[in-house]
Amino acid sequence: MKTFSFVKYEALGNDFVLIDIRHEKFSFSKKQIKKIADRKLGIGCDQVILIVSPQSKNSHVSIQFYNADGGEAEMCGNGLRAAAAYLWQHEDMKAKTLVFETKAGIRKASKFGQSIKCEMGAPKILKLPSRLKIISTALKYPIFIDSSVPHLVFLVAFKNISEKKLAAFGSYYEYNKIFPKRTNVDFVDIRSAHELHVKVWERGVGFTRACGTGAVAAAVACLSKGLLKNPVTLFFPGGKLLVEWQGSNTPAYLTGPIKEVFAGVFAARAKPSKDGNKFVN
């Protein structure tokens, strides 16, 4: 057994366990990731984040994101902000802007008052699958967005639909065969020209109290249809995030708070990895 240090962060209730393995050569199994994320048998979180050594000298670190079911995600906006907070608070990094390598590409984070602002890459509006079935009249104006990870966005009126039904819709679309890699599902309710209420069903997790890539996807979906004006304040069950986007082929920016919850140590059987810092099933 080997002991590992971790730090837990939360962003509007969207919580993460960060493990820094830059100086180690081992890997966690999918089963171990699931146990770490388990709220009864492990530490408990929506996502496990591994901080590893970067490939490029121009980057500060590389980040690997794993959902609570053990599946890997290309990127996570709130998780990126958590990683930035960790480096500033625990590694005493002096750089005002941090550069990260992710599976979705290079991402950057900077301090913005008491919050952290992330450059989230240029979101893309994707073609809806031809076999997409709208299973309820409550779901309006579907749009498929790549905000570093896939998000299927629907306009809804929250006052007319229950949380239980939204959860059923989220699960239905996440596991639908028309999405080979599964998808996140966003339900959005427009409240004003600059305000949006959002609930995100995250693949591999379920409903979360907030979601960074979901915030970008929801804002971009509505801005692209002319339903909102830039910038957009998004209200989640856990609080609010700000998204800025100037239009096609430009990066989106996500700003919001992040908080360290606690730090600790756990024991696990680590499988040696010849390549170092690699996640294996």
Q: How far apart are CA 40 and CA 250, in angstroms?
A: 42
State yes or no: is 211 an active-site residue. yes
State yes or no: is 222 an active-site residue. no
DSSP 91: S
Q: How far apart are CA 108 and CA 101, in angstroms?
A: 9
Candidates 45, 76, 118, 222; catalytic one: 76
Query: Which DSSP string corresponds to 100-164?
Result: EEETTEEEEEEEETTEEEEE----EEEPPPTT-----TT-EEEEEEESSSEEEEEE--GGGS-HH
Q: Rounded to whole angstroms, what are the CA distances from 85 to 55, 199, 233, 267, 271?
A: 21, 25, 22, 24, 28
Candidates 45, 118, 211, 222; catalytic one: 211
Kindly report the CA angle at 171 between 148 and 159, in degrees rounded to 5?
Answer: 95
Give the catalytic positions in this structure: 76, 211
